[in-house]
Structure 1
Amino acid sequence: MTKRRQNVLVSVDSSSPAKRKLSLDDLLQSFILDCKAKNLSILTLKVYEDSVLRMKEAFQEQQMPLDIYTVTSRDIKNYFIAYMINQGKSDNTVNSRIKGIKQFFKYLFTEGWITQNIADELHVVKAEKLMIQTFTKEQVADLLAQPDRNTFTGFRDYTMMMILLETGMRISELCNLKIGDIFFKKSTYKIRLNIKVSA
């Protein structure tokens, strides 16, 4: 009688030795290249790269080792997020950098560089809602009185200021406004939206 062979499941480490040799700087470069391939904006790339570099600096300044393969969410909360808050960084700055490193760790997990996605355990801080100060009527009147409307450039500047004031149009939208976008008989205009869709 033939004895059947018993199959045994053995866990295999999905991280290859070659991947383990990459430094934080190499992983960051790989991350940024991946973001470029997705056609993310230059500003987004800068925010992501700066976030990771600031995290690296924070650990170094506190003389704490940063092993990207074993670092935990608790380490990042203690030595990066809390560090920024203690330095008096604004809520917007802190949250921007948190979002940046979340994308970085998400990429590392998706590509198999790390075995746990610690990005899921990182959360933005509650930002303080600030009241935006507006101009008084007197300040608006003073601003509109500045251009010399008897000259071409003065009348042009006054017209642009009035458009911004009356419509709430962004400066970039005003700069992109063409003659063909203005319908004088209907007293209307068309705003060209410059929307970049990320993959």
Structure 2
Amino acid sequence: MARRKNVVKTHEDSVGATTAVSIQTNQVLDFDTAMELFINEQKILHRAPRTIEWHRENLHTLRAFLERQGLSTTPNQITTKMLKENYILHMLETLQLSPVTVNGRIRSCKAFFDFLLNEAYSSLNPAKQLSLLKTKKTVIETFSRDQLNLLLSAPDKNTFTGFRDHVIMLLLLETGMRVSEIVGLKLQDIRWADSSILVLGKGNKERLVPFQRKMKATLRKYISIRGDVEGEDKVFLTIDNIPMSTRNVQERIQDHGKLANIQGVRVSPHTFRHTFAMVLG
């Protein structure tokens, strides 16, 4: 059987131009249509892909809950009582989710219904009266100097993957970059002349991050080992010459943490970032 083409054909009007579904503001929207309108708005606002996916997951969870409870999923028929006394209580008492998780879903509800109200797709905002739950401030542990030495020594620097991982950890520690920024880093983002990196961060905001002479030499050595890969400008690649993902980096650092027998602290890219912040402080 031939493999299908992974392209969805668009509907075209009589003159051949691609047309979008027209939604009247006085039309009662179903949940899926309303959600896609909201998601498209997030894209227009240049929200980060992970943020958009986070909203989508949270809204899917809301719709699934309402369906299981036999409640209406039509946005105009969703009430504050349904959200507060059914949905939020269910998450807290039945699922026993953490306040942080529940707050994330509340934020998505607020953003979703705010959008529908502001765009005149709805006359009411049932999420307006929802309040975020109080959360405990947790202290994020940082790496000690000994733990950092063990971690940075764990990768086998005689291998491509080992040296690459070593460089990633050094870069996380020295620049405080997020893991998403590390995997998104391109060759042209490295400004060798002034020893800095152009980083595209949250909200598509750019910033320049400096690095020191030793980091510069190590990064140059990695780029030399990486070599030229046709059609690929991402700095950090897998052994198969494809860009590393966030999950790739997280798993590799966790593996090095186990190898170094690091205990009492979470071994993750975020801990490197927090250690960087504490060092600067």
Q: Is this a same-fold pair by TM over 0.5?
A: yes
Matches within 5 A, 1:1-199: 19-20=27-28, 22-86=29-93, 87-148=95-156, 151=158, 153=160, 158=166, 160-173=168-181, 176=185, 181-182=191-192, 189-195=195-201, 196-197=203-204
Looking at structure 1, the residues matched to 167 and 38 of structure 2 have their Cα atoms a distance apart, in angstroms, of 46
The 8 Å contact of residues 163 and 169 in structure 1, kept in 2 or not, is answered as: yes
The 8 Å contact of residues 47 and 97 in structure 1, kept in 2 or not, is answered as: no
Looking at structure 2, the residues matched to 61 and 68 of structure 1 have their Cα atoms a distance apart, in angstroms, of 16
Q: Which amino acid aligns with 2:191?
A: D
Question: What value does the CA root-mean-square deviation take over the aligned residues?
Answer: 3.2
Change (3 A) 1:134 1:74: same
Looking at structure 2, the residues matched to 111 and 158 of structure 1 have their Cα atoms a distance apart, in angstroms, of 49
Q: Secondary structure at the match of 2:27?
A: helix
Cα distance, 1:77 vs. partner?
Answer: 0.9
Q: Which residue of 2 aligns with 1:3?
A: none
Q: Which has the larger radius of gyration?
A: 1
Give CA-to-partner distance per residue, 1:7-62, whole Å, 9 cap, x none: xxxxxxxxx89613x32222222322333333333222222222222112222333
Cα distance, 1:105 vs. partner?
Answer: 0.7
Q: Which amino acid aligns with 1:28?
A: M
Looking at structure 2, the residues matched to 63 and 103 of structure 1 have their Cα atoms a distance apart, in angstroms, of 24
Looking at structure 2, the residues matched to 56 and 144 of structure 1 have their Cα atoms a distance apart, in angstroms, of 45
Percentage of identical aligned residues: 28
TM-score (norm 2): 0.52
Could you tell me which runs of 5 or more consecutive residues in structure 2 were left unpaired when the two chains were aligned: 1-23, 206-281
Q: How many residues align?
A: 177
